[in-house]
Amino acid sequence: MEELHKSPAYPDRDRLYKGPIAIIECIEEIPCNPCEAACSNGAITIGESITNLPKMDFEKCVACGRCIPACPGLAIYIKDYTYSDTKALLSFPYEYYPLPEVNDIVEAVDRHGNTLCQAKVIKVRNPKSNDHTAVVTIEYPKEYFEEVISIKRIK
């Protein structure tokens, strides 16, 4: 977690809680740069050397979500602490069958797959242009804002 907070793509506490924001959990120098071209606002920078860690310009990020399915490592997601009084929002990549459906109640999990709370599916997008990486949006209790990262695989 410490390395995450130090990476150039992780928002500082203020920004993280301020509204919808894309977060890239990419902290190893791998030659990889599709995220850079995916952002139509130019908020993501890798640069000349493609092993550079992605750098996020939080002023330019409008949390449109286009970067989520573009990352081959499925390392990008969007969070919004301000979604409602009690709930936060998470949009994340999901590549399992079956896909959840809107209004489904699902189990929200942390980075180790532990169920932290229940969540409701708000949106499921899987256009052809995503090449089979669906983007699922859930609303979940604010208390678990930072820990929740995905949902338990639906069988």
Partner 1 sequence: MNRIIHHPILGEKKPSKEVVIYVDDKPIIAHEGEMIAAALIANGIFINRYTLHKHKPRGIYCAIGRCTDCIMTVDGVPNIRTCITEVKEGMRITTQKGAGVWQKEDQQ
Partner 2 sequence: MIQTELAIVGAGPAGLSAAIEARRAGADVLLIDENARPGGQLFKQIHKFFGSRAHKAGTRGINIGTELLRESQELGIRTCLKGEVCGIENGQNLWVVIDRNRSEIVKAKKIILATGATENAVAFPGWDLPGIMGAGAAQTMINVNRVLPGRKVLMLGSGNVGVIVSYQLLQAGADVVAVLEAAPKLGGYGVHTAKVARAGVPFYVSHTVKQAFGTDHVEAVEIVKLDASFNQIPGTERIMEADTVCLATGLTPLTELAWLAGCKFKYLPALGGHLPIHDDRMRTTKENIFVAGDITGIEEASTAMEEGRLAGINAAADLGYISEEEAKIRSREIWDSLNCLRSGYFGQKRRESKDLMLQTGNEVIQWKIH
Binding region for partner 2 (CB under 8 A): 25-34, 37, 49-51, 70-75, 95-97, 109-114, 131-133, 149-150, 152-153, 155
Name 138's bridge partners: 90, 121
Q: What residues pair up with 109 in beta bridges, in sequence order?
A: 115, 150
Euclidean distance between CA atoms 45 and 92, whole angstroms? 20
- SS3 call for 23: strand
Minimum CB distance to partner 1 smaller for 48 or for 131: 131
Q: Which of 31, 48, 49, 97 binds partner 1 (CB under 8 A)?
A: 97
When asked if residue 95 is in the footprint of partner 1 (CB under 8 A), the reply is yes
DSSP code for 59: T
Going by C-alpha positions, the residue among 24, 4, 33, 154 that lies closest to residue 79 is 24
Please report whether residue 101 would count as binding partner 1 according to CB under 8 A: no
As measured in angstroms, the least distance from the Cβ of 51 to partner 2 is: 4
Instruction: Provide, rounded to whole angstroms, the least separation between the CB of residue 122 and partner 2.
Output: 20
- Where along the sequence are the contacts to partner 1 (CB under 8 A)? 95-99, 132, 134
